[in-house]
Structure formats: C-alpha cells, structure tokens
Structure 1
Amino acid sequence: MDNYDYSESVGSGFLAGVGIVGGIIYLAVIVLMIAGLWKMFEKAGKPGWAAIIPIYNIIIMLEIVGKPLWWIIGFLIPCINIVVVVWVTNLLMKSFGKDTVYTILALLFPFIIYPMIGFGSDRYIGPTAAEAQGQNSFNQFKQYKNPFDNNNNNSNTPNDTPTDPTV
C-alpha cells in the first residue's frame, strides 16, 4: 500500500496563490501605464492607440519630444538604450511642463506618473528638444566661456598702467 504525504500540496497552493496575485498586480501596472501613455499621446495631438503598438509608440514619443526618427536606433543598442530612455523621458516630462524630479519619478514609478499627467490637468506645451526648436543641441557648449581664460580685456596686469580719467 502506498503512503502519500500531502503536506507539500499546501505550500504549492500558497505559491500558486502568490503567483496569481502577482500576475494580477503586474497586469494592473501595465494597464495603468498604457492608459496614462494613451492620454498623454492624445494631449500631444497624436493617436492614443499608438501607446499599445510596440515600436510605433517609441516613434510617436520621439515625435512628441522633437527628436529625429533615427534616435530609435539608440533604443536598440544595449547600454546606450539606458541613456536614451532617461534622455527621452526627461524631454517627455519637459514637454508637459515638468522638471527633473518628475523625470526621476517617471523612471521609477511610470505606472503612477504617466496616468497622473495623462488624466490630470497638465498640458502639452510642445517639443522641448533643441532640434525641434530649430537649434542644435550642442549650441550651449559652443557658447561656453572658460572662466580661467586669460584673454579678458578687462584684467589689469602688472605692466599695465592704470589711467586716471580725471587727469
């Protein structure tokens, strides 16, 4: 006669319940993110259904932030894609009038921030990328003045004789 021990089935049932609850929570997070992106796309004047199409939603997001289409290559290159995701998320938040704190929150909690912006009173203010405004994104570096540059005409050297305008 066979003796079976059914004590392991209780643990298996518990783990199955944890898996089902975890799956439901995961689906709820995904639905919140898609709904938030859908509304954000609509606020930006783009089709909301684009939020559910895998590569097309990135293309629409690049249009919203004002980056060229070839940036999609950055999403496909390992390690580079992390930088591109952070950059595009920052531009997306700026396009809705948010600051860097919202970028950090959107990277950590997109299932909260996207619906908050999408369903909230935030307005799309336009693409904030420099290229979308007819500029070059590296112009800020071209205008940089080195504070240690000695080519200043206002500095007095020991050989210069100060002029007195009253004389």
Structure 2
Amino acid sequence: MAFVLVIVAIGFTVLILASWWKIFTKMTQPGWYGIIPIFNYCVIAKKSGKDWWWGLLTVVPCIQIIFQIILLNELSKLFGKGVGYTLGLIFLPMIFFPILAFGSAEYQGPQGKAF
C-alpha cells in the first residue's frame, strides 16, 4: 500500500512540475524558471508589474499565504482568468495548474496598472 502511495505522490509531483514548466514557457520564460521554488513567484511578480521581491514574501512566516494568494491571482490575470480561477489554483491545484498549462489559455501579459 505504501508503495502505491509513493508512486501516486511521484506522479502528482511530476504533473505539477510539468505544469509549472509549461506555464512559464507560455509566459515566454525558460521553463526551468517555473520549477525553482521562490524564484518562480519572483518571476510571476515581475511579469505582473510588481517588484521581484514580492516573490520573496512567499517565504515569510505569517504573511506567506497572503502573498501566495496575491501572486496566484496575478498569475490568473496574466492568462486572462478571473477570481474563480484563482480559487481553483488555491484549493484544487492538481486540477487547475495542468488546465492552465496544457489547456487553451494564452499568456496576455499584465492587465492595466498593478498596485
């Protein structure tokens, strides 16, 4: 039973890594940017018009979840998606990251002025 769980966990990990890679290639960035923890959020922040250090705030205790949600919302906006899609990225990442990566969503760039 444990072996099956390990195989499933490895499968989900590969799926998420492949999704991050594909999302970043859609954003005209090297795919490997997407699989480096923290750096990927720094790139998302920069692409959405915010300072790169917003990505560093995803590792600060107590405010980490807030900035991850903000940057996932920015990622949704970069692909023309709304708040509903952001909620999907937060609560069902195993479904919504692959849809964003391998679906028909196209990178649209920042929408308007970022705060």
Task: Give TM-score, length-normalised by structure 2.
Answer: 0.89
The match for 1:70 is: 53
Contact 1:33–1:114, Cα closer than 8 Å, also in 2: yes
Q: Which moved more, 1:84-93 or 1:55-64?
A: 55-64
> Aligned AA for 2:27?
A
Higher relative CO (Cα under 8 Å, sequence separation at least 6) belongs to 2
After superposing the two structures, state which structure 1 stretch, 84-93 or 73-82, moved more. Answer: 73-82
1:99 and 2:45 equivalent? Answer: no
SS at match of 1:54: coil
Matched, 1:80 2:63: yes
| Matched-pair identity in % | 37
Which structure has the larger Rg over C-alpha atoms?
Answer: 1
Cα distance, 1:59–1:32 mapped onto 2, change above 3 Å:
same
Aligned residue pairs total: 115
Q: Which residue of 1 aligns with 2:38?
A: 55
Structure 1 segments (4+ residues) deviating >4 Å: none
Tell me, yes or no, if the aligned pair for 1:66 and 1:128 is still in contact at 8 Å. no
Task: Give the CA deviation at 1:129.
Answer: 6.9
Q: Distance in 1 between matches of 2:8 and 2:57?
A: 30
Change (3 A) 1:34 1:129: farther
Give the aligned CA root-mean-square deviation in angstroms: 1.6
Structure 1 residue 26 corresponds to structure 2 residue 26: no
> What is the TM-score with the length of structure 1 in the denominator?
0.63
| Unaligned stretches of 5+ residues in structure 1 | 1-16, 132-136, 138-167
2:97 alignment partner in structure 1: 114
